Homo-oligomer: A and B are copies of this chain.
Amino acid sequence: MVTKERYDKILRVLKKRQRDLSVLAENVHKPHNLSAMLRTCDAVGIGVVHALNPTGGVPTFNETSASAHKWVELRVHGSLAEARAALGGVQLLAAHFSGRALDYREVDYTRPTCVLFGNEKHGVSREAADAADAHIVIPMLGMVQSLNVSVAAAVILFEAQRQRLQAGLYDAPQLSERELHAWAFRWLYP
């Protein structure tokens, strides 16, 4: 039995989903990191997360996700080319330390955007860094060189949320009536 309250909540959430904002996780392999990232994506209105996982392993989640994997679709790709094709014509921003990296607060996330995050140990691959339209970094003022990947994702994605709230991008649905109901159906009857 689905209550009217539950159904309304689901529609309210789906009407805020941002079709043109997504994440590409490159070989992020710890379940608690991937779980926390999906949970953040849900809160920012990201409905689809892409994972690049050439080893073909199926990602696992832990209780940290608070079941976010039910609400955020994870699409696993075997190559960067495949992920790029699935993303379509968006700006690809790599969260990556490099000589050409911009402060993450200087970038316009109201444009169609995918943010790429790298592996816990090795960071973003050379291939993915080269393919990105820009590199972005969160300023580090301490001794440690990098943040935990799920933390970096949250900091950048809530900046995107801030900009998109300000631009009114959550005010009108981005999904069509048809898509809204297809998603609602899948959420209600998984």
A interface vs B, CB < 8 Å? 9-10, 13, 16, 32, 35-36, 39-45, 64, 66-68, 70-72, 105, 138-148, 150-152, 154-155, 158, 161-162, 165, 170, 187
List of B residues within 8 angstroms of A165 by Cβ: 139
Pick the residue among B67, B72, B144, B187 that contacts A66 (CB under 8 A): B144
Query: Once bound together, how far apart are the Cα atoms of A155 and B147, in whole Å?
Result: 12
In the A-B complex, the 7 residue pairs with the smallest Cβ-Cβ separation, listed nearest first, are: A42-B142, A36-B148, A151-B154, A71-B143, A43-B140, A45-B141, A155-B158
Task: Kindly list chain B residues whose C-beta atoms are within 8 Å of the C-beta of A161.
Answer: 139, 141
Q: How far is the CA of A165 from the CA of B155 in the complex (A)?
A: 16
Asked whether A141 lies within 8 Å of B68 as measured between CB atoms, the reply is no
Residues of B within 8 A of A146 (CB): 66
Interface pairs (18), CB distance under 8 Å: A9-B143, A39-B148, A40-B148, A43-B138, A43-B139, A43-B142, A64-B148, A66-B145, A68-B144, A105-B162, A141-B170, A143-B187, A150-B151, A151-B151, A151-B154, A152-B154, A154-B154, A155-B155
Cα separation A64 to B144 with both chains bound (whole Å): 11
With beta carbons under 8 angstroms apart, the residue of B40, B67, B142, B170 that contacts A44 is B142
The distance in angstroms between the C-alpha atoms of A21 and B105, with both chains bound, is: 22
Residue A45 contacts which of B72, B142, B158, B162 (CB distance < 8 angstroms)? Answer: B142
User: A143 touching B44 by the CB < 8 A rule?
Assistant: no
Cα of A16 to Cα of B148 in the assembled complex, Å = 21
Can you add 13 more A-B contacts, CB < 8 Å, to A70-B143, A138-B158?
Answer: A36-B147, A36-B148, A39-B147, A39-B148, A40-B147, A40-B148, A43-B139, A43-B142, A43-B144, A139-B161, A147-B154, A148-B150, A152-B154
